[in-house]
Amino acid sequence: MEEEKIKAGVLFDPGNPKLKALKLKTHNLNVDYNNTYENETEKRNLILSKILGSYGEGLFIQGPIAFHYGIHTKIGKNFFANFNLTIQDDAEVTIGDNCNFGPNVTIVTPLHPMVAKERLEILTSYGEVKRLCYAKPVKIGNDCWIGASVTICPGVTIGDGCVIGAGSVVVKNIPPNTFAAGVPCKVIREITQADSIANFPEILADNSIIEE
């Protein structure tokens, strides 16, 4: 019932026993993952298979991690996340293929009433007084680079091929193939062939661009 409310984007009870059990299981698995060594690949993959809703091949998460539900997060192929990944996935979080996250990236989906009294108590349809919240899903497309210490807020969609600058707070949708940065995050410009590393021989050095 509460899961259905989450998906519908309406107020739900985060203290519901079933939801609390899901979160407790995942929080404990976070600790298990964070107590592994980086080269304990099989052990780490086994833990992630118990945490995540789904994920593709080639996934690597540096750790430590902090997933809230875990099962509401779906990750594509060839995902890399640096230190301190936090995903508060009350609502669904979807991450596409070939995405790279810098350290300290945070994705949040839950929202709370703005009025202080309403954060403390709301009367439910069952006549009970409870603390309720709601949540909005987050979607990140394919081939995105999310810089260090970026926070992605509830309800945001980031299109394919985006680069989000370090320290940004993303509160609105970001269109595909753009560089966006800032607090709040805004589109700076489109990403074009002018950005190719081929145009920077001092950085390319003796390497080569692979032509498609």
In a domain, 173, yes or no: no
In a domain, 44, yes or no: yes
pLDDT band at 1 (very low <50, low <70, confident <90, very high): confident
Report the C-alpha gap between 195 and 184 in whole angstroms.
24
| CA angle (201 as vertex; 199, 206 as ends), nearest 5 | 130
Cite the active site residues. 112
Asked if pLDDT for residue 212 goes beyond 80, the answer is no
**Domain count for the chain:** 1
Mean pLDDT for the stretch of residues 136-146:
98
Question: In this structure, what CATH number is given to the domain that contains residue 64?
Answer: 2.160.10.10
Report the C-alpha gap between 60 and 80 in whole angstroms.
5
Report the C-alpha gap between 187 and 202 in whole angstroms.
27
In a domain, 105, yes or no: yes
| Percent of the chain with pLDDT strictly greater than 90 | 98
Residue 205 CA to its chain's centroid (Å): 34
Mean pLDDT for the stretch of residues 153-172:
98
For residue 60, give its domain range. Answer: 2-152
In a domain, 40, yes or no: yes
What is the structure's pLDDT at 211?
A: 84
| Percent of the chain with pLDDT strictly greater than 70 | 100
In a domain, 147, yes or no: yes
Report the C-alpha gap between 162 and 142 in whole angstroms.
8
In a domain, 21, yes or no: yes
In a domain, 144, yes or no: yes
In a domain, 177, yes or no: no
pLDDT band at 107 (very low <50, low <70, confident <90, very high): very high
pLDDT digits (tens, 9 = 90+) for 25-45: 999 999 999 999 999 999 999
